[in-house]
Amino acid sequence: MSTKPSPRRVRATYEFIRAHRDRYDVRAMCRVLGVAPSGYYKWLHDPISNHAQEDARLLRLIRASFVASHGIYGAPRVFLDLREAGETCSKHRVARLMREANLRALHGYRMRRWAVGKPSILIPNLLQRQFTATRPNTAWVTDITYIRTWQGWLYLAVVMDLFSRRIVGWAAGPAIHHELVLNAVLMAVRQRRPRGTVIHSDQGTQYGCDAWRRFCRSNQLEPSMSRKGNCWDNAVAESFFSSLKKERIKKQIYKNRDLATADVAAYIDTFYNRTRRHSHLGGVSPEQFEAAHDPRRKGLH
């Protein structure tokens, strides 16, 4: 095991020697403290090493990435930002600099554990936890969550394409009626024009009503339902809500529903879909992933 002192410890030793050089002989202090006099005099002439200067430069870039992510990026995603910008530092160096600067990513919420539930009688579970799709509009997932405001609850319904994890439809409102989920899916249908797409949900009453089944039939959607009370059958949608609440809402209570809706819109449309790096997608955003896999774009090259 190497006994070589760390650069930080060596610098601290040099600073101690400089502070006490008027009282003690420099060479004697170097001998006792285990550093070379030549190293001390070189540091005295140029106290900030090239390595330390490079660390300081990288830390500025790391802070910029961390702030741009609203404090949610850890070292792996910050490293991808730096690599995309042309930097060649290692992931371990990024982690060290973030640790020393006390830049810590926000932690998520714990997910409740559920007992295995019974399958839906009306609508089968077509998805069967197959959360990876090879083409757009093969399978969507949809779910509802709630957000606190001083006006009362704001309910949010989203639709996600499992191919790119992109939110392709969403709607927010003061009530949890079936119109809420229909508005979210209507946005997705207008954007994506599905043909035989599986759309998976939990067994909420909004997804079991006649209006939901009629809407799916008329828009060439194949409804699929989780087992009762089993969140793992719709884990990807649950994961998105966890990210939303961790990264944007952060347990705050909005002044009113309009402010909450505007904040959710900004998160989904300008950050999550467009910018946020997704580990499932190899560290790119949903929009970047779709653009990279668009056959029309490939045909241009």
Residue 143's domain spans which residues? 139-296
Query: How deeply is 151 buried, as exposed, middle or buried, from its count of CB atoms within 10 A (0-12, 13-18, 19+)?
Result: middle
Residue 124: inside a domain, yes or no?
A: no
- How many structural domains comprise the chain? 3
Q: Indicate whether 154 and 259 sit together in one domain.
A: yes
Examine the domain organization and report whether 81 and 162 are in the same domain: no
In a domain, 1, yes or no: no
Please report, as a single letter, which amino acid is at residue 290: E
- Cβ neighbours for 295, distance < 8 A, ≥ 6 positions apart: none
Query: What's the pLDDT at 111?
Result: 47
Note whether 265 and 239 are same-domain residues: yes
- Residues 173, 92, single domain; the answer is no
What's residue 287's pLDDT? 94
- pLDDT at residue 1, as a whole number: 46
Helices 7-20, 50-68: axis angle to 10 degrees equals 120
Q: Is 291 part of a structural domain of the chain? A: yes
Residue 110 lies in a domain: no
Q: What is the pLDDT of residue 139?
A: 92
- Report the chain (301 residues): mean pLDDT per 10 consecutive residues: 68 89 91 90 76 82 83 86 80 90 72 47 75 89 91 94 95 93 95 92 86 92 78 76 87 91 95 91 92 69 44
**What's the confidence (pLDDT) of residue 11?**
81
- Whether 122 maps to a domain, the answer reads no
Co-location of 85 and 143 in the same domain: no
- Shared domain for 200 and 179, answered yes or no, is yes
In a domain, 30, yes or no: yes
Q: Decide: residue 242, CB within 10 A, 0-12 exposed, 13-18 middle, 19+ buried.
A: middle
Structural domain includes residue 249: yes
One domain, residues 59 and 17:
no
pLDDT at 116: 45
Is 292 inside a domain boundary?
Answer: yes
Q: What is the pLDDT of residue 268?
A: 96
